[in-house]
Chains A and B, each alone.
Chain A
Amino acid sequence: MIEVVNLTKTFKKVNAVDQVNFYIEPGEIVGLLGPNGAGKSTTIAMLSTLVPPTSGDVLLQQQSVLKNPASLRKVLGVVPQEIALYEELTARENLLFFGNLYKMQKDQLKNRVDTVLQQIGLQHESKKIVKHYSGGMKRRLNIGVAMLHEPDYLIMDEPTVGIDPQSRNHILETVKKLNTESNKAIIYTSHYMEEVEYLCNRIYIMDKGRIIASGTKDEIKAILSSENTILVKLEKHSNDFLSELMSQPLLSNINAKEAEISFTVAKGINYLPTLLTLCEMHHVTLKSYEVKEPTLEDIFLHLTGRALRN
């Protein structure tokens, strides 16, 4: 098990990461969810022993690894957010180069490279120079490099940023397979809540350097168990109607995107009749009224008052 205890990183008197605690056990996928600038990447950098924390500790099997990170580095694979590859080399050459850094035997390395190429679906493109790859292929190779030395734990820092939906699905499936078939423990950071929701057993939500909520998906969603999220669609946007909703004491977390408005209301209250009255008052046509299950997006909005992808 890897544990992070009171991890703090201060840059010029600003706490980028503030007293963060979490753990990951073998075989589980843990999500670290938060908007850009929440401190996820700094947390990951400290966890992977690239950046020393200002205070706090990182433990592997109860032993601190900050002074002697070699033991952690052996069992840890890191997939950085950036494409950390030599673009002038082929996929195979990249894998051989990075595999060599782990001092693997020649035959063992060759076998691993073939296996990894298969796992990431690039076995037929392995002799192509990386700069000619699509964004999705580069992302897959980026993940493949971190898997070469067969680590027990994989840290993936926003591995689907900037790629097309097809490649994104491929990567999500690869991550899922790594977990189910190879029993890899994965720390998956993202600001796409649907990815975290799809992949992760447990979730930590970060904002402004702190963990503001944590638990299994159900536990986190229970934060909003006393409220319902309502999504209404109007025929057209109306400022007067929106102002009227804002002044309603029973509603909270009101969020408007043109003619779509979402808000939360306490469970057990049927707000539809009131809403119809308000529509009539402001001459607004209601097109739809939907009571939604709370999403992680709603939880984040509830906890911070801001949308996740601001």
Chain B
Amino acid sequence: MAEQEVILSVQGLKKTIRRKPIIHDVSFDVRKGEIFGFLGPNGSGKTTTIRMLVDLIKPTAGTVKVGGYDVQRQPEQALRHIGCIVENPELYPYLSGWENLEHFARMLPDVDQDRIREVVTIVGMQQRIMDKVRTYSLGMRQRLGIAQALLGRPKLLILDEPTNGLDPKGIKELREFIRMLAAQGMSLFVSSHLLSEIQLMCDRVAIISRGRVLAVGGVDELVSQAGGYVLWQASDTDKARALLAGDPQVELVSDSDHAIDETIISALPDAIVTVIEADHIAEVLRRLVEAGISVTGMQKVSPSLEELFLKLTEGEGID
């Protein structure tokens, strides 16, 4: 793929609050039409960084450029190209959805009633748009927030933990929506503390911990670095375990050594956790069958964010 034009360029961003350094050194580029993930645990400096991108916080050092304009020096030109929701989509509860959109449209050049109608249709809010925001559910506020962010036809849409508080159906819809926007050429910057979410949504990712960017790269590339697990379930767990243990190409992982998400493990009782090369799986499976062990389940599990961190920081952990 040809290198696309850089929409957002962050260089050497630092922030010190009350003499305490919060953000040490954050640099990354977001290109046109890509979905860029910003991954890090809570408290790692994601939100502080995002606030610096949109001029809510002044950086102590470093630059943020949007479409070539410096957010610090030319905020009016730079912010024109950004639509954003920082944390929760907070809109005026005493105004209707429509009035909120009109309010923010007045703050932008060349946004007319037709454009407002257009964004309302994009987020599918035609039914309730004249109701007071006070009466909206969180999902609807999220949609209205996105509609607001889209008003000025931004080149870059920044969403801070957009799936927080949404139900699974809402999350799926949001994911499809984000892909649709990217397909139209918009760049998206999505922060999250969940690796799975970033894996499902993003093309590239920056991983941040304790105010430092640990890695920037393609999502698949980074995830494969951290490896993954293969989980086995069999009718006779002990026999299967013995057979797997006898194979030098299979590494058994005890329960205390892996950091697989608890919700996944609890759904797979008595699973044997292994690390194994993908092209060896068929061979192991054949041998299990030959030994008369009926395999009831086999599943690949991606590493958790925590493990990815362990790999990237070589054992330092996340917090």
* A, B assembled together: no
